[in-house]
Structure 1
Amino acid sequence: MMSLLPGSRIPARWWRTWQRWVLAWSRIVYLGAVVLVLVLSPSTYSPAARRTLARHMYLGTAPILLGFTVLAALLCLVITHIVVVTALSYGLSRYALEMVIRVLVLELIPLTAALFVAMRCTIPSGAQLALLRQSGHFGWLRQHGADPVRTQLLPRVLAGVFASITLAALSCVVALVMAYLSVYGFNVAGLPGYTRMFGQVFTPVVTLVFALKTVFFSLAVALIPMTAGMYDTGEATQPDSELGGLARMFAVLLLIEVLSLVGNYY
């Protein structure tokens, strides 16, 4: 009987893992629905709430804006040079810029912007929420008639969404400019062909998929880290409890990326 004990614990361990998995994802979905309702509610945007939201947006975007823009410019220069040189060596120079735009603007920039915002903005904000919850600040807010979701969570989620979309949009513009300068230099002679090629890449379907992907990336990196801060995910006793939220966030980002690839190329 003693030899059967380790094996008998395996289904119970699987059941506990399944329970934690369902609980974590149900809380993410619930919190996302609550945030959506609050965003659409006019009562959310009182003067004090607007000031708080503006402050969180500024603190979440301004400190990382310049650094990520420089990073995106350097990344664009390196990738553009590699792609152009490789295309020239194979006699495919006419496809080099289109490949750069598809790889950089459509795929790498939105994902990189979302991950950068997650590491620099939303994950630290989620840790702040966890500290507030553990210190009893949420209970103090409820005792004084304030909702922690409305006053603490919502501004941080919207700030994360705003930062991710802003960085992605600005970096895409920087990538397009740097790609043009890398190939044509400071010369407007290639502008007609470049804009025509840009229009061929960004068809209505591709533009819609790109916009939806950017928005869903921003929602994923803004909402999932906050859920771990607002709630006890049930993984506190596990060695990898701090990685649970990151794993879920990366899983959602990967799923969105796969769906966007299917929408763009199939």
Structure 2
Amino acid sequence: MSERTGPVVVGVDGSEEATKAAVWAAAVAEKFHAPLHIVHAIADTGRLLTDAAAAMLASLIAEQRKSADATLKSVEEAVRTRFGKLTVTAERSDQSASKVLTDLSGKARLVVLGSKEVSPSAALLLGSTTVAVTAHSSCPVVTWRGEITAPTDQPVVLGVEPERTGAAAFRTAFEFADRFGVPVHAVNAWPGRRTLGGIEIPALVDWGAVEAAQWQYVMGAVEPWSEKYPSVEVRYFVETAGAGAALLSHAPDAQLVVVGSRGRGLLAGALLGSTSLNMLQHGPVPVLVCHNANP
């Protein structure tokens, strides 16, 4: 994230979640000495199956256009009340939210979206703004959820997975922790005693050596970033669970969960992978997704 100098971009839609996400985004922007850019665009809807659905959509879009200015004004006021010195700009667009936010991600430092929950069915549709932007963004994306609207003393949790956790995820997690003055909790998950063909085979595997290798991996992967950010305390965790379950067990005590993803592409749900989608669906706190391709 440090290589980007653009604004923190937040998408709003008039919901309470979006307003809280904007306040959180403003707090992040202030910590990173960056401007905040608030965006209101037309909600993504996925595929329309009937003429009646199309008519309802047209009515919804018309209503959104009417309320857009009031929404932007309300969010700006909520932000300026708490962050009077922050540079804040606003933009209204009649294009789809996923397109607008994805386009803006090319120059943004961070994109933030408020979200209640991303259902499994929504995760399969490009009509889900959260999933589409997260999958295709050129910068890290935060799906905001919960009640945290300002930095706390809680840690930043970082999921450490081979291949998925690239330099962007490490850098971003440590930058947030450094700016917020909190520790990083580096969490690695490994399967533990799995079965082969339905038969448990503990006698054929040196599980102690496997666990030791996991500890060696996670500590080795994090060490270069600890050296770059010596003021950030790091705690290490190796969990015998799936990656999603392991991160969810740590999330309630965190203020932010950072996960990596392999890249960007056309199939949003498949591209993000099970860990990222699981956190987007169920994470109780803000979740930040970094693609390996993010600078």
TM-score above 0.5: no
Bigger share in helix: 1
Larger radius of gyration: 1
Q: Which has the higher contact order (CA 8 A, sep 6+)?
A: 1
TM range (shorter): under 0.3
